[in-house]
Amino acid sequence: MSVLILTKRMDLPDSHTLAVYKQHNGYQALTRAIKEIPPEQIIDEVKKAKLNGRGGAGFPAGVKWGFVPKDAIKPKYLCVNADEGEPGTFKDRLIMEKDPHLLIEGIILTCFAIGIHHAYIYVRGEFVFPTKRVQDALNEAYEAGFLGKNILGSGFDLDVTVHLGAGAYICGEETALIESLEGHQGKPRLKPPFPAVVGLFQGPTVVNNVETIANIPAIIEHGGEWFAGLGSADNGGTKLYGVSGHVKKPGIYELPMGTSLREIIEVHCQGVVSGKKLKAVIPGGSSTPVLKADEIDVAMDFASLQKVGTMLGSAGVIVIAEGTCMVWALAKLTKFYAHESCGQCTPCREGTGWVNKIVHRIEAGNGQPGDLELIEHITTNMTGTTICPLAEAMVMPVQGFLKKFRPEFEEHIEQQCCPYQEKA
């Protein structure tokens, strides 16, 4: 049995309440840190923990915190990215619904370490219930003296504001999130300057996602080296793997960082449904390149997946069984990205829509010779030509599907129909 950090309280009745959280060591790390541990030491422990950001990019959290100027003139801010919009990803919502005080304690520790006095939780527009849970928990924290003025008699002040977005996937990108918080359209900014120097309201800003921040209390309670020892090399801690698709037991699994993809599917999820064979796996949310069935003997961490040509991303594992039409599956993904492009950059605005139309035409049996080459040409010209990574978020799955399952696309074009209609 692996160590549980993020999910250990979630099966308890009323796990979202302050009373239950405090009964199970809640806010003890904060109480000790705010009285005994210098802020610089908290940052050092997070660096020792090898806590890579759990939002997708995997950038070391402690290093990001270290970029914030200590002598900044403008106020500093923390933005917690709870805009969980990646298809196949549903882990942050679980924390907000089941253990919001874990997130809040992580926020307070983070702000204390960096010298921040106002934090924002930016929540996906559709997350109405999780938002209520978080707001109720914040109200409890204020009443108990964990938030507000002079927290626990330390002289440290902190306010936390929940902001509900309007349901735009692009606001999961940190600068688009900041733009939205400021009241503007959610469109990404050019970088540099980076948010750690010029962010929210032009002040130094740290942007971390929910799962990242929720790990901070355990790191402070047990130490960075302990946390680092739970995972694989250069990837500390446990990870929330969200598994959906054609498995017998879909859900959220907290396992050591670096657990093999095969173990997740065959042991924890009990294999593919209906006795079917595995066909493909999207390992890290819809924007990550697909793997074939014979490629799942890989550790689910950032470096290992990069070596096999894909990404851990948000660890939203989408399992695809035999008989599934991969052209149909890709058409669902391209429609999403074409819809969610903010339209600011021409290659993304035009490219996502163009590729989506071609893929849907192929899926409908109207594909033409040269379509696959055209898709490859378009996606190649979308790469590295936009302000934010949304274009690449579409390019990677499209190119991955064509690379791994090209014969299916060719069959659709040659036969002018879907050869999987009877099996789907």
C-beta neighbour count of 378 within 10 angstroms: 18
* Phi/psi of residue 23, nearest 5 degrees: -65, -25
pTM: 0.95
Sign of CA dihedral 71, 72, 73, 75: negative
What is the CATH architecture assignment of 326-415?
Up-down Bundle (1.20)
Residues with Cβ within 8 Å of residue 313, at least 6 apart in sequence: 56, 86, 283, 284, 285, 287, 288
Among left, alpha and beta (phi > 0; psi -120 to 50; other), residue 274 is left
Angle ∠(146,148,151) on CA atoms, nearest 5:
50
Tell me what pLDDT residue 56 has: 81
- Domain locations in the chain? 18-228, 238-321, 326-415
* SS3 at position 87: coil
Q: Which of 104, 93, 95 is nearest to 10 (CA)?
A: 95
Tell me what pLDDT residue 58 has: 87
- In words, the CATH class of domain 18-228 is alpha beta
Angle ∠(177,183,184) on CA atoms, nearest 5:
75
What is the CATH architecture assignment of 238-321?
Roll (3.10)
192: preceding bond cis by omega (within 30 degrees): yes
Residues with Cβ within 8 Å of residue 397, at least 6 apart in sequence: 282, 286, 287, 288, 289, 290, 330, 333
Q: Which of 79, 111, 85 is nearest to 195 (CA)?
A: 79
pLDDT in tens, the chain (424 residues): 579 999 999 999 999 999 999 999 999 999 999 999 999 999 999 999 999 999 888 899 999 999 999 989 999 999 999 999 999 999 999 999 999 999 999 999 999 999 999 999 999 999 999 999 999 999 999 999 999 999 999 999 999 999 999 989 999 999 999 999 999 999 999 999 999 999 999 999 999 999 999 999 999 999 999 999 999 888 999 999 999 999 999 999 999 999 999 999 999 999 999 999 999 999 999 999 999 999 999 999 999 999 999 999 999 999 999 999 999 999 999 999 999 999 999 999 999 999 999 999 999 999 999 999 999 999 999 999 999 999 999 999 999 999 999 999 999 999 998 887 644 4
Which two three-digit tokens encode residue 416? Answer: 């002018």
Q: Which of 315, 109, 134, 59 is nearest to 219 (CA)?
A: 109
Tell me what pLDDT residue 2 has: 75
Q: Using CA atoms, how far apart are residues 264 and 91, in angstroms rounded to an integer?
A: 15
* Contact indicator for 350, 307 with CB cutoff of 8 Å: no
Q: Which of 101, 92, 99, 113 is nearest to 44 (CA)?
A: 113
* Contact indicator for 281, 397 with CB cutoff of 8 Å: no
* Contact indicator for 208, 219 with CB cutoff of 8 Å: no
Tell me what pLDDT residue 424 has: 42
